[in-house]
Amino acid sequence: MLKVDKLMVFYENALAINELSIEVNRGEIVGIIGSNSAGKTTLMNTISGLLLDTRLKEQRKGGERITIFGRLSFLGQDITNVWADQRVKLGIVLSRERHPVFVESDVEENLRIASYLLPRREIKGMIAQVYRIFPALFPLRKRKAGFLSGGEQQMLAIGMSLMARPKLMLLDEPLLGLAPATQVKLIESIVTIRKEEGVTILICEQFARPVLPIIDRGYVLENGMLTLHGTGEELYDNPEVKAAYFGV
Amino acid sequence: MLVYGLINSVILALMALGFNLTFGISGVANFAYGAIYIVAGFITWTLIEKLGLPHLVSAAAAIVVIGLFGMFLYKLVLKRIRGLVISEVIATFAVALVALELLRYIGFIGFRYSLPVFIDGSVEILGAYVDIQRLLILALSILVVVAQYLFTHYTKLGLAFRGIAQDEHTSLSLGINPDRIASWSMGIGCSLGAFAAIVILPLGTITVDSGYDVLINALSVCIVGGLGSTFGVIIASFIIGYAQILTATYISSHYTIIVSLVAILVILALKPSGLLGHQKELEERV
């Protein structure tokens, strides 16, 4: 479904992603595991196309020079130079890290803003579906998103991505800053989303322990380079992963 | 005086709404706003006087033309310098200078340029005689504020406006194209300016110089109210509106424009983000 081919990303002369090739097949949950500064967010922004926008903005003000090499293809179509909003239309939707929500709008309005690409008659049904997946959001629907807790904001952020009807959902560190119990709940919701919505999911995370059991395949990223690749179980049992991410 | 202050405040608010809308959504400080206001007046005047079109048709045509011009201005110029605040200000102000001085060059000077009022006549309210046109401005301003609220809360484009206003990258990752929305906000902002011109200008004559005054008034109202906040604009226009009327009554009508400038200075010294503003980097923006 998604193919990343020999991707390299530079910020000025610093290499953020080095000859990375990964593949995501339809219906899978694929994990990208890596510590801070491994290049996870850069990878997510490259796949979603946000990096093209950042690159243009930096170029305009004469800021940081961003260089991208390699090719991206989605459903057999070359998307290397396709703009972010067009990629959303194709079905690649990113939920950015640190649960970005529109803080001045209430929960329901956040979902309605997110329904920009949805035909008018489907909006109500889809919002109801989001509340089904995240029942905790329903009682909060009139509350301003800025007053939600981190976990609730994260649920809302994922719910907003769902409103764009993704075929491939990119989740950038969804567990960041959440309590362990909330992490477990969120992971369950992610499994539900795949099952009920038929969405393929690419999730990147540094908390490997809760994520590894639900992924079909995983890649381990270190300093922008691919170091390990295997099924979720293989990675879970791998002594290096255990040492680096479980603290065993 | 109470009544005149009210009307003056409402006029200020109506003038500022378009500027405020564009800034609030796309962050573009449209310094061509005053010029657009005057150009809209002259377009309407030309259509009525030279082509003999009916008043309402001319007004609608001017609003549409100015709106398209705003979108065109964004696509042609502002899109390339988006995010560079100083460049945006310089570019739009340059457009304003070109438009206004060109009008002066062509010969739109003198007292014969004035727009017809919608309904003639006046009524007495609280002992003051008020033109029906002024009451009409009051009603239409309320209508515009209500319409703007409904638009930004219940339509797709309006909701996308609010999304872009709050977080551009999040909106982009939901499929909302910031450039498209910003060009719409520019178009609608300019149309609001044209609308304001068409209802306000009949109160006096159209002069090129008042283009600068309109910009200063709109700017001061927006800065005092807090850039990007509609409610702030309304409050600020009442403060400045009454202050202007008081100045005109007790000192001299000559000094009214000073009020706006002083208001900018005072608010920047005391509360730089404006009364209801949430723009932290206002010092950089203005």
User: Tens digits of per-residue pLDDT, A181-193?
Assistant: 999 999 999 999 9
- Give the domain ranges of chain A: 2-246
Which of B82-86, B136-140, B242-246 comes out lowest in average pLDDT? Answer: B82-86
Q: What share of chain A is helix, strand, coil (3-state, %, to 5)?
A: 45, 25, 25
Beta carbons of A245 and A206 less than 8 angstroms apart = yes
Give the whole-angstrom CA distance, residue A140 versus residue A144.
8
Q: Tell how strand A217-222 and strand A225-231 pair up.
A: antiparallel
Beta carbons of B32 and B74 less than 8 angstroms apart = no
**Mean pLDDT value of segment B71-77:** 94
**Residues in A touching B232 (Cβ below 8 Å):** none
Q: Residue A60 and residue B81: Cβ atoms within 8 Å?
A: yes
Q: Which of B164, B174, B181, B284 to mutate to test the interface with A (most CBs of A within 10 A)?
A: B174
Q: What is the chain B residue with the closest CA to A45?
A: B173
- Whether B175 shows a pLDDT value over 50: the answer reads yes
pLDDT tens string A197-246: 999 999 999 999 999 999 999 999 999 999 999 999 999 999 988 888 88
**Mean pLDDT value of segment A78-92:** 95
Q: Which pLDDT score is estimated for B280? A: 45
B156 lies in a domain? yes
Average pLDDT for chain A: 94
Q: b vs e for B124-137, b when ≥16 Cβ sit within 10 Å of the residue's Cβ?
A: eeeeeebbebbbeb
**Mean pLDDT value of segment B204-219:** 90
**Mean pLDDT value of segment A67-85:** 95
Q: CA dist A51 to A59, A96, A146, Å?
A: 12, 12, 26
Q: What is the chain B residue with the closest CA to A90?
A: B175
Q: Which pLDDT score is estimated for B284? A: 38
- Whether B128 shows a pLDDT value over 80: the answer reads no
- Whether A247 shows a pLDDT value over 80: the answer reads no
Number of independent structural domains in chain B: 1
Q: Which of A45, A51, A82, A85 to mutate to test the interface with B (most CBs of B within 10 A)?
A: A85
**Mean pLDDT value of segment B74-85:** 90
Considering CB atoms only, which of A57, A88, A109 is closest to B175? Answer: A88
ipTM for the complex?
0.91
Give the whole-angstrom CA distance, residue A131 versus residue B43.
52
Q: Residue B173 and residue A88: Cβ atoms within 8 Å?
A: yes
Considering CB atoms only, which of B81, B153, B172 is closest to A84? Answer: B172
**Mean pLDDT value of segment A164-183:** 94
Expressed in angstroms, the distance from the first to the final Cα of chain B is 33
**Residues in B touching A116 (Cβ below 8 Å):** 156, 159-160, 163, 174-176
**Mean pLDDT value of segment B250-254:** 86
Residue with tokens 């309006």: B158
Residue with tokens 């900018």: B264
Domain A2-246 top-level CATH class? alpha beta
What is the percent of chain B with per-residue pLDDT over 90, rounded to a whole number?
61
**Mean pLDDT value of segment A110-121:** 94
Q: Residue A85 and residue B172: Cβ atoms within 8 Å?
A: yes
pLDDT tens string B176-209: 999 999 999 999 999 999 999 999 999 888 888 8
Tokens at residue B127, please? 């002992």
Q: Dihedral (C-alpha) A5, A11, A14, A15: value to the nearest 10 degrees?
A: -10
Q: Which pLDDT score is estimated for A76? A: 93
- Which range marks the domain in which residue B171 is found? 8-207
B251 lies in a domain? no
Considering CB atoms only, which of B166, B174, B177 is closest to A104? Answer: B166
Q: How confident is the model at residue B131 (pLDDT cuts 50, 70, 90)?
A: confident
Q: DSSP class of residue B116?
A: P
pLDDT tens string A116-167: 999 999 999 999 999 999 999 999 999 999 999 999 999 999 999 999 999 9
